[in-house]
Structure 1
Amino acid sequence: MKIVIAPDSFKGSLTAQEAAQAIRTGVLDAIPDAECVIVPMADGGEGTVRSLVDATGGTLVTTSVTGPLGRPVSAHYGLLGDGHTAVIEMSAASGIQYVNAATRDPLTTTTYGTGELILDALDRGVDALIVGLGGSATNDGGAGMAQALGVSLRDADGRELDRGGAALQALDRIDVTRLDPRLHHCTITLASDVTNPLVGPEGSSHVFGPQKGATPAMVERLDAALAHYADVIHDQLDRDVAHTPGAGAAGGLGAGFLAFTRATMSSGVGVVVEATRLREQARGADYCITGEGGIDAQTRFGKTPMGTAQAVKEVAPGCIVVALAGFIGEGIASLREVGIDAVLGILPGVCTLDEALDPARAKENLTRTACNVARLFRS
């Protein structure tokens, strides 16, 4: 019996690898001779680096970069087991965890550190990048990242712009002659399920700006600055990023990548499915156990359990897919339509959130539930 074990992380509790090992323990308790194939998963958000490093036998790299407030922060990214691909979560360098209610300011926060992570990866010889977009403290359209990579953004007097989204209102000239030439030979895949454009009512500033501390007045100012930025990019680089789906991801970082590199936008979970070779590993599978911390109707819109179920059933149409979760919300009946045959909660009874998130308890709950599921498989 072949069982694919492919969960996402249980946020705030277990990494995808830890969750997978706990599930494996439960399966083998019930079916000692089962063939268990472990594939840690993610959907482009938090945990993507760890999952892909674990799944490919890669390594983590930690370095000091410029944080969103302009101060040094320690950030990490992954070098995958293939030896030539790096996976970066932009939030590791430019994430909202580096600001608080008193310091957050989307007018001035910068993605410069994300660019520095890319440079560090290029220095290590990579020629492919996977970049997870999400969790940003920024709204600068990727301008800071571009400046770190060698792009010059100047005002009408020829002065380099300050960092931050508000400064883009003064943009007059873009000079890409010093853009790091290694980027011309680097494949860049953007992992994101955000389809918002850069500007307008559904754009980065209006939809995500308030989460980063933007007042209504700041939202209008940032949207106008990004619209001007997009106009200059269109006029001088002949690239249209204002209304491209996904350009508004991570405070407009998607637009920066699309303007200054040869990046392509992809579904987050789709990128991870390809990088982990999930389909190849799932051929001939009888059962699949996936899951993450919370599952509800939104899971069908690009979350890990949905992407995992669909990828597995492409190569093993008869495979039964069971998703495990700490929290089950409304609308899970619709998940059968996207390949998830059953959703099961792992909590043994009423408990506090702290108790549910305790790593030791979470492992025990996953192992016990997986054992019970496997007993059903066996029967």
Structure 2
Amino acid sequence: MSDPARPLEGLLVVSIEQAVAAPLCTVRLADAGARVIKVERPEGETARHYDSAVEGMSAYFVWLNRGKESAALDLKTQADLALLHRMVAKADILVHNLAPGAIDRLGLSAQRIAQDHPSLISAGIVGYGQDTDYAAMRAYDMLVQAESGICAVTGTPDTPSKIGVSAADIATGMNAHAAILEALLARGNTGRGSVIEIAMFDGMADWMAVPLLHYEHAGRETGRYGLAHASIYPYRPYACRDGVAIVVSIQQASEWKRFCATVLEKPALAEDARFATNALRVANRAALDAEIEPVFAAVDHEEAIRRLDAAQNAWGRASEVRDLPRHKALRRIDVQLPGGKTVTVPKPSVRAAAFETPPAVPALGADTARIRAEFAA
């Protein structure tokens, strides 16, 4: 009987990967039971060397490479390139996020895949669609955030900002993971694989759909409002008397009425013509803040939360990074490092429970010899 916690067990994934996007995709596949062979340069892939924060290893690498095998290959040599091709011939899934054109030079172009490996699912992660004028552009997370306009709607009115984590890479890895699962379902029906292109820019442009639609259909450019929402109000933090900021989110008319009556203790404010709809509250945010800010400034955060709960209004704390390790909602999994030490990372949201045995992060080339023997000519 198959293990429901390992639905991809028996599948072989070969991944020529580096940094964040492709490794995030393949760690999800490994978590679900697939065998993932990570092909690295002899000196190790990029993310191994970003930092040494976790017992001497890169935090990025520890986060994204549990449960994989590492094969350190020099694909510029004929022997290792031939080995790669033998691995791909037996694989169910190929994932790669190399520089534009590199996969073609390895003899694994879309045309060759379709011709030589018709049942293979090949997922290529690129910066920009290969049918666009940006096809040859190198792409890294912040560059794509900037190009897509994400930075234009993030930050303060005076300062555009990138999202503080690798959002373009993370979105791309998630999109690639979903596309591969869809392709596996399709292959189950047809027996045929597919060649998939996942562009980082496409993912960020999709996230920008609301600002784009506002601009094209309403002639309105979305501004930058820091921790306040651009098109829903009030949806921002308010500082309490004890210095704690509580983020308030009011999205429905009924929520607005309860907020005025119970939290602000100003029931008449709900009927004020300036604030009757969300659109009017957005347009008159400065006047509305003049009503709300003094109320929160006059109470400690516990009282603000008590009122918000009584009104059935949504709220959250504006946490710092130092607050996250102690957050009551944080769930973790154990990961084993080379050498046997165990560390914890956040539990991926797609997993119902922690692993029975902590998955291991591979040392560079830890599995090369065994893989050479397994896939020998």
Instruction: Report the TM-score, using the length of structure 1 for normalisation.
Output: 0.26
Q: If you compute each CA radius of gyration, which structure gives the higher value, 1 or 2? A: 2
Instruction: Report the TM-score, using the length of structure 2 for normalisation.
Output: 0.26
